[in-house]
Amino acid sequence: MYDFSTKMRSLRPSAIREILKNMSDPEMISFAGGNPAVECFPIPDIRRYSEKILAEQPVKMLLYSTTEGIASLRESVLRFANRYGKISGPEDDVAILSGSQQAMDFIARLFCNEGDTVIAEDPSFVGALNSFRACGAKTVGVPMEADGVDLEKLEAAFAANPRPKLFYVIPNFQNPTGLVTSLAKRKAIYELAVKYNVPVLEDNPYGELRFEGDYVPPIKSFDEKGMVIYCGSFSKILAPGMRLAYMIANRQIVEKIVTIKQCSDTHTNTWSQMVCDEWLRGSDTEGHIAAIRKVYQRKCNLMLSEMDRHFSKKVTYTRPTGGMFLWATLPDGVDMLEFVKQAQARKVAVVPGNAFLCDEDASSQCFRLNYSTPSDEDIVRGIGILGKLTEEFCG
- What are 207-264's pLDDT values in tens digits? 999 999 999 999 999 999 999 999 999 999 999 999 999 999 999 999 999 999 999 9
Mean pLDDT of the chain: 95
* Closest to 230 in 3D by CA, of 35, 66, 95: 95
- Residue ranges of the chain that CATH labels 3.90.1150.10: 6-42+287-394
* Closest to 281 in 3D by CA, of 94, 36, 93, 45: 45
**Topology (CATH) of 6-42+287-394:** Aspartate Aminotransferase, domain 1 (3.90.1150)
- Residue ranges of the chain that CATH labels 3.40.640.10: 45-282
pLDDT at residue 13, as a whole number: 66
Residues with Cβ within 8 Å of 315's Cβ and at least 6 positions away in sequence, in order, are 307, 328, 329, 330, 331, 390, 394
pLDDT beyond 90 at 87:
yes
User: pLDDT-derived band of residue 10, with 50, 70 and 90 as boundaries?
Assistant: low
Q: In whole angstroms, what is the distance from residue 393 CA to residue 170 CA?
A: 32
pLDDT tens readout for residues 360-391: 889 999 999 999 999 999 999 999 999 999 99
Q: In whole angstroms, what is the distance from residue 178 CA to residue 188 CA?
A: 20
pLDDT at residue 223, as a whole number: 97
**Topology (CATH) of 45-282:** Aspartate Aminotransferase; domain 2 (3.40.640)
pLDDT at residue 385, as a whole number: 98
pLDDT at residue 56, as a whole number: 97
pTM of the shown model: 0.94
pLDDT tens readout for residues 271-322: 999 999 999 999 999 999 999 999 999 999 999 999 999 999 999 999 999 9
pLDDT at residue 18, as a whole number: 58
pLDDT beyond 70 at 9:
no
